[in-house]
Amino acid sequence: MHMADALLAPAVAATMYAASGIAAGVSVKTLRKDETTAKLPTMAVASALVFAGQMINYTIPGTGSSGHLCGGMLLSALLGPQAGFLSMVVILAIQALFFADGGLLALGANCWNMAFYGCFVGYYLLWRPIQRSGLFGKAKAAGRGKIILASILGCVLTLQLGAFSVVLETSISGITELPFAAFVAVMQPIHLAIGLVEGLITAAVLLFVYEARPELLMDVQSGAEQGKCSLKTTLVVLAVVVALVGGGLSLFASGNPDGLEWSMFGNAEAGYSENMGLDEEAYGVSSSAAETAGAIQEKTAFLPDYAFSGSDSAAGTSVSGLVGSAIVAGAAVLICLAGGFFRRKKAAAKN
Amino acid sequence: MDQLSHAQAELREMDALAAGDSPIHRLHPLCKLVLTVAYIVTVVSFSKYDLSGLVVMVLYPVLLFQAAGIPVGLCFYRLRIVLPLVCAVGLANPFLDHTPLLQLGTVTVTGGVLSMVTLMLKGVFSLMASFLLVATTSMDSLCAALRKLHVPGLITTLLLLTYRYIGVMLEEVSVMSQAYALRAPGQKGIHISAWGSFLGQLLLRSMDRAEELYHSMLLRGFRGEFFYASVPPCRWSGVVFTALCLAAMVLARCFDLPQLLGSLFVR
């Protein structure tokens, strides 16, 4: 779900940076109150673990496709929402810088879409209320049930919110010609399937921690008496749920690890409206909303008044523009060749 | 697993590049950070039909790559992650935007085609710029630059520590998954019966390790923040270079330079 720099207008990117920055600032401030230095290595190790853990493929039984771990829910269950959010921010920053997953400008938006919802919304709205509730009774099996429920609901909700934000941010940026409502109609169901699978994997990892070291999990009461429901039965239940729900829905995503990619490729391959069986005209209302948003964006764009008048259509398409562009491109290639020539010469001189 | 070893190799490659020496490597990290952000903002701010205006922006990364002694081709491997997504968003445009903008002989260039190409170039350019930043700046210097911008010490220290431990964790996970794959031949990923225990085991061990790590850090005098010693001093030449680059970017954003160049030759 990582957004690239090119998918965002500067104004939208700045807004998202501000929003994520406020969340990070509040987190740092809250964390300062309790001893953060003691927590720092744990946060670093946990985020490094989530980073590596997200590269593991988990086979989804009966489908042939594979799922991944949901980092936000796992980190907030282990570290709490504030520390979890900061850890996610750091993971996303490293992914953007070193692995070209996301981008420097889109970092604010990515933090909001993936870290904020996963850590704060998922934790305060679902994880904590469910763990503190008397749901399923008081036995240890109840603890398992609560962890599974909270993980699945948390992942589904946070992915839905994240996917919706991606659509919203891309549409407001005026990047795509896709009508807003139809774009949403593709993104949400795919991320519902992904959320279910991610929730199950996250639940499995958290259950393991709960069995071995329940004190590591936030807000989970440990020391409850042993119930009848063993890990094995839980996993069997999980398997059935996966096969029924995840399996059916993840057919959408099979072979396409990223839902965002899928929904867009799906659109591109056969033309958007045909692909969805939708009538483009029926979405007139929302496309006009997108146009308004586009107009707002144009007004707030970086130094719009300095551009040549009419450059929107004329400059980019005039013949002299094309000739000039070709000259610049040729110069760029020449610079690369010259650089390579001098590097080789230097290396030869060294030997 | 393939993805894990790829990630390890990429991290090593970036470290090796950042350890190099060139005028760009010696430029103050804050200057590089400011330039990179300004460049990406400028690139992204071009209107979706302004292809010729955008093209001139290619010169900044290309020139700096050469000055830093890094072949441009290196960063294109990384495009495989970001480009499919950008292309996918862009590919819808020619289907939905049929406004004819230019007639080249018998070929009509529509707005959709133009906005698609512009979008892809934006994706490539911004990737080149951030690759250049990381390839010429070590994580230490980058964190020092962030610290200068008053990013809380908690975040920069966390960034440094996490970056340090990602290497360790990738190693650990790849050893584990290799062992798993050898014991489960012909299986694509982790079987459902090991979903929890696979990462869970590592998680428990790592949490204990983090505790030990903290104690050893305390014994070496850690008081909540690292101190960055190896940052090169900010020289006047660096500031002037940054200012010139920023001015060039503003110029390129305000005037369609390739079109002006082209009009010298056409008509």
Percent of chain A past pLDDT 90, that is, above it, reads 20
CA angle A13, A14, A19 (to 5 degrees): 100
| Residue pLDDT, tens place only, A236-270 | 555 555 455 444 444 443 334 444 544 544 444 44
Q: Are residues A128 and A35 in the same domain?
A: yes
Query: CA A105 → CA A7, A41, A256, B126, B148, distances in Å?
Result: 10, 28, 26, 9, 19
Cβ distance A205 to B122 less than 8 Å, yes or no, reads no
Close Cβ partners of B16 (under 8 Å, ≥ 6 residues apart): none
Q: Are residues A93 and A241 in the same domain?
A: yes
Does the residue A243 lie in any domain?
Answer: yes
Does the residue A313 lie in any domain?
Answer: no
d(CA B227, CA B160): 11
Does the residue A148 lie in any domain?
Answer: yes
- B254 near A CB under 8 A: yes
User: Does residue A138 surpass a pLDDT of 90?
Assistant: no
Q: What is the pTM of this model?
A: 0.79
Query: Is B25 within 8 Å of B68 (Cβ atoms)?
Result: yes
User: Does residue A304 surpass a pLDDT of 60?
Assistant: no
At A254 the pLDDT is 39
Chain A residues in contact with B187 (beta carbon < 8 A): 59
> Confidence band (pLDDT; 50, 70, 90) for A291?
low
> Confidence band (pLDDT; 50, 70, 90) for A281?
very low
Q: Are residues A279 and A330 in the same domain?
A: no
d(CA A222, CA A214): 6
Find which of A8, A15, A66, A98 to mutate to test the B interface (most B CBs within 10 Å of its CB). A98
User: Does residue A313 surpass a pLDDT of 50?
Assistant: no
Cβ distance B96 to A272 less than 8 Å, yes or no, reads yes
User: Does residue A65 surpass a pLDDT of 80?
Assistant: no
| Residue pLDDT, tens place only, A175-200 | 777 788 888 888 888 888 888 888 88
Residue ending a domain, choose from A286, A308, A332: A286
Q: State how far Cα B191 lies from the chain centre.
A: 34
Q: Are residues A348 and A260 in the same domain?
A: no
**Nearest C-alpha of chain A: how many angstroms from B96?**
6
Query: CA A142 → CA A60, A320, B241, distances in Å?
Result: 25, 72, 64
| B100 CB neighbour count, 10 Å cutoff | 10
Range of the domain at A174: 5-286
Give the CATH number of the domain where residue A9 resides. 1.10.1760.20
Cβ distance B210 to A13 less than 8 Å, yes or no, reads no
Considering only the beta carbons, identify the residue of A42, A51, A200 that sits closest to B169.
Answer: A51
| A307 CB neighbour count, 10 Å cutoff | 21
d(CA A64, CA B189): 10
| Residue pLDDT, tens place only, B132-158 | 999 999 888 899 889 888 888 889 989
Residue holding tokens 């990364």? B61
At A116 the pLDDT is 94
Q: Are residues A21 and A98 in the same domain?
A: yes
| Residue pLDDT, tens place only, B15-36 | 899 888 888 998 999 999 999 9
Considering only the beta carbons, identify the residue of A99, A320, A342 that sits closest to B10.
Answer: A99
Chain B residues in contact with A56 (beta carbon < 8 A): 1, 173, 177, 189-190, 198-199
Look at B31 and A311; give whichever has higher pLDDT.
B31
**Assigned token pair, A147:** 């962890």
d(CA B139, CA B137): 7
**Assigned token pair, B95:** 């289907």
Residue ending a domain, choose from A242, A270, A286: A286
Residues in chain A, total: 351
At A259 the pLDDT is 46
Close Cβ partners of A62 (under 8 Å, ≥ 6 residues apart): A242, A243, A247
Residues in chain B, total: 267
At A287 the pLDDT is 47
Chain B residues in contact with A33 (beta carbon < 8 A): none
Does the residue A209 lie in any domain?
Answer: yes
Based on the structure, what is the number of domains in chain A? 2
Cβ distance A94 to B162 less than 8 Å, yes or no, reads yes
At B190 the pLDDT is 81
Q: Which of residues 76-135 of B touch A (CB under 8 A)?
A: 78-79, 81-82, 84-89, 91-93, 95-97, 101-102, 104, 109, 111-112, 114-115, 118-120, 122-123, 126-127, 129-131, 133-134
